[in-house]
Amino acid sequence: MEAGLSTRQSPILEINQLEKIYDNGVHALRNINFKVYEGDFLGIIGLSGSGKSTLLRSINRLIEPTSGSVKFKGSELTNLSSSKLREKRRKIGMIFQHFNLVNRKSVLANVLSGRLGSYSTWQTLNGSYPIDEIERAKEYLRIVGLEDKADNRADELSGGQKQRVAIARSLMQSPDILLADEPVASLDPATSHSVMRYLERANQEFGMTILCNLHFLSLVRRYTTRVIALKDGEIVFEGLPQAIDEQWFREIYGEEAVEVEIN
Amino acid sequence: MSEITANHQFDQKIQIEKRWAFWKGVVLSISMVFYFGFAIRYLFLQFADYYEFDPGFLGDSTILLYLIPASVVLGYLWSTSPQSLGRILAEKTNRVLKNFFDKKTTAGWIYTPSGIFTGLVLLVTAAIGVNVTGMSIRKLFEADGFNGAINIFSKILSPNWGILDLVLTYMVETIFIALMATLIAVPIAFTLSFFAAKNLMRESRRTIGVYYLVRLIANFTRSVEPLVWAIIFSVWVGVGPFAGSMALMLHSVASLLKLYSEQIENIDHGPVEAIEATGANRIQVVWYAVVPQIVLPFLSFTIYRWDINVRMATVIGLVGGGGVGTLLMQYQGLAKWNEVGTAVFAIAAVVWLMDTMSAKVREAIY
């Protein structure tokens, strides 16, 4: 256990004995146990297919876990009815490798869609939001440096800009935690760092707890405060990013692996 | 340990699918052998009838009783070969097995006994087809009929332009029949299409039940020709344009529903996932993540449908659905071929115009 852990309060997210077996027989998660504390920037690493994406999606139940428990701020998520689950999802932001913006809508509309869960169906069908929500959306667009793109269509943006819009969309939720599924995997190195810095700001300035799947160890060392490593659906490492030395690296990525840097 | 169980489960699944596909193949093979035997006998009897000789024991219908067990045995033996058509069809269409299907065995397949037998089945089917439809080169060139056709053709090709204003009045009716059918069909098909899209309805058993119900009703409605619907509606609401537009409307709902829902099944799932993750409800997810992805293809399908409906409205008029088709039918009944010609030309012109317009509009949308 890390130093200073005992001084913290109860965990914001607590995962116990989480298992996921897909219909085709793939055992994607095996006995996953870990805790995340408020203010953590948790990196999750592992090879493709090691279960990183399944793990994140099992938390907000975009993928239904087979068994085990996910406790978010002390309340169990796995047994919630769909309406109760939607309530909890409002407090869990998520960004994706392929950004998942609605391409034909404006950037502003995409940011505002982060608030859909807080309004009734009728209020949202005509696409008009209260003026203060629009102001907030513009404010978050300013924070991610895209205030001048508010009226552009989302598919006119570059990859890095799309991911920043996605970050603004999740900021609209004022989430307690943010799940980031390989947010920079389809971006170039320079853009990757710019996106990661926005996540860092969200973590430090807005106090958002972040769980982030990452491929590059250099990004993990630079940005995360704690890291877990998955291999074949199991946690094989948990600790500080600095603790991942050559030996651990081979353990996680296999004997043949060579580390590549992203600068 | 658990990985071994998972692999074991998968192996078992494949075994079950293989057995299922084998028996499916057996049933297919047996039916094919039975059909072949039945067809050969039918052709032989026709032949005997034509040349007036006694077909012998083949003429006795009890032969069919022997054909059934014979085809069961032969069909089973045939399907023990993985090359048999039944097995290939069953395994290639199986959702699990098709990934493991050995493609090498299909090369040069037509030269195998199975391939030759399949060829024979097709040949026999074509022979029966000629017989059943009564095809005859001789009749096609008989002087009497041929001259009659030429007579009608020459009259149709010299239309009576004096009735053009009357024809155009009915043409307008036809266009409106198509328009109203499309206008009413679109919102109904739009709403139902979300319930007929598998990717949105997989959630639970109840929703997948709704999916199958909607698909079933739509498939039934679509498989009944609009001509038949027109007859039903002309009894229901009386002969005329109302019956015609109701018939077209029903058929349009079913056809658009199929096109719309397939479009929904092809959307990018990413935005759906993202909007779901914000805590939005089902309707909001559909409205914000699905609908923006489908509006343009929907618009294009809709215009295409209107185009089809204009063409169909003329045909529907033939059975009392109103419009220019009804006019055409009346002139045809009176053998007024010059007037029929006017209607035919008007229809051709409007169909050509609609076709070009709809192509242009759809091009502009994409």
Residue B35 lies in a domain: yes
Query: What mean pLDDT do residues B90-101 have?
Result: 74
Considering the domain architecture, whether residues B11 and B128 belong to the same structural domain is answered as yes
Percent of chain A with pLDDT over 70: 95
| Domain region containing A134 | 5-253
Considering the domain architecture, whether residues B116 and B262 belong to the same structural domain is answered as no
Q: Is residue A136 over pLDDT 90?
A: yes
Mutation target to probe the A interface, by most A beta carbons within 10 A, among B97, B278, B285, B291 is B278
Query: Torsion angle of alpha carbons B176, B177, B179, B182, nearest 10°?
Result: 170
Distance from CA of A62 to the nearest CA of B (A): 7
Residue B38 lies in a domain: yes
Residue B34 lies in a domain: yes
Residue A261 lies in a domain: no
Considering the domain architecture, whether residues B199 and B77 belong to the same structural domain is answered as no
Considering the domain architecture, whether residues B177 and B129 belong to the same structural domain is answered as no
The residues with which A34 forms a beta bridge, in sequence order, are A15
pLDDT, tens digit (0-9, with 9 covering 90-100), for A221-234: 999 999 999 999 99
What average pLDDT does chain A have? 89
**Which of B135, B166, B193 corresponds to the end of one domain?**
B135
What pLDDT is recorded for position B1? 41
- Least Cα distance to A56 among A84, A25, A89 occurs for A89
The residues with which A177 forms a beta bridge, in sequence order, are A92, A209
Considering the domain architecture, whether residues B83 and B168 belong to the same structural domain is answered as no
The CATH number covering residue A245 comes to: 3.40.50.300
What pLDDT is recorded for position B261? 94
Considering the domain architecture, whether residues B100 and B183 belong to the same structural domain is answered as no
Residue B296 lies in a domain: yes
Q: Assess A62–B contact: CB distance below 8 Å, yes or no.
A: yes
Considering the domain architecture, whether residues B87 and B115 belong to the same structural domain is answered as yes
| Higher pLDDT pick, B29 / A253 | B29
Distance from CA of B175 to the nearest CA of A (A): 33
pLDDT, tens digit (0-9, with 9 covering 90-100), for A172-187: 999 999 999 999 988 8
Angle between helices B164-195 and B241-265 (to 10 degrees): 40
Terminal C-alpha separation, chain B:
53
Query: What mean pLDDT do residues A243-262 have?
Result: 77
Q: How many CA atoms lie within 13 A of A255 on its CB side?
A: 0
**Is residue B310 a contact partner of residue B354, using CB atoms and an 8 Å limit?**
yes
Considering the domain architecture, whether residues B68 and B180 belong to the same structural domain is answered as no
pLDDT, tens digit (0-9, with 9 covering 90-100), for B208-238: 999 999 999 999 999 998 889 999 999 999 8
What pLDDT is recorded for position B105? 57
Residue B81 lies in a domain: yes
What average pLDDT does chain B have? 87
Residue A137 lies in a domain: yes
pLDDT, tens digit (0-9, with 9 covering 90-100), for B131-186: 889 888 888 888 888 898 999 999 999 998 999 999 999 999 999 999 999 999 99
The residues with which A20 forms a beta bridge, in sequence order, are A29
Handedness of CA B60, B65, B68, B73 (dihedral sign): negative
Q: Assess A153–B contact: CB distance below 8 Å, yes or no.
A: no
Q: What does A89-127 look like in DSSP terms, one character per residue?
A: HTTEEEE-TT----TTSBHHHHHHGGGGGGS-HHHHHT-
pLDDT, tens digit (0-9, with 9 covering 90-100), for A77-108: 999 998 999 999 999 999 999 999 999 899 99
| Domain region containing B77 | 2-135
Residue A151 lies in a domain: yes
Residue A258 lies in a domain: no
Interface of A with B in 100-119 (CB under 8 A): 100-105, 113-118
Structural domains of chain A, count: 1
Q: What is the DSSP letter of B169?
A: H
Report the range of poorest mean pLDDT among A245-249, B165-169, B247-251: A245-249
Residue B306 lies in a domain: yes
Structural domains of chain B, count: 2
Interface predicted TM-score (ipTM): 0.89
Residue A260 lies in a domain: no
Considering the domain architecture, whether residues B249 and B318 belong to the same structural domain is answered as yes
Residue B122 lies in a domain: yes
Task: Please state the separation of Cα A225 from the chain's center in Å.
Answer: 15
Considering the domain architecture, whether residues B227 and B342 belong to the same structural domain is answered as yes
pLDDT, tens digit (0-9, with 9 covering 90-100), for B17-57: 888 889 999 999 999 999 999 999 988 888 888 888 887 87
Angle between helices B164-195 and B291-317 (to 10 degrees): 140
CB-nearest to A100 from B3, B10, B274 is B274
Q: Is residue B104 over pLDDT 60?
A: no
pLDDT, tens digit (0-9, with 9 covering 90-100), for A188-229: 888 899 999 999 999 998 889 999 999 888 899 999 999 999
pTM (2 d.p.): 0.73
What pLDDT is recorded for position A6? 45
Considering the domain architecture, whether residues B356 and B211 belong to the same structural domain is answered as yes
pLDDT, tens digit (0-9, with 9 covering 90-100), for B265-317: 999 999 999 999 999 998 999 999 999 999 888 988 888 898 889 888 888 88
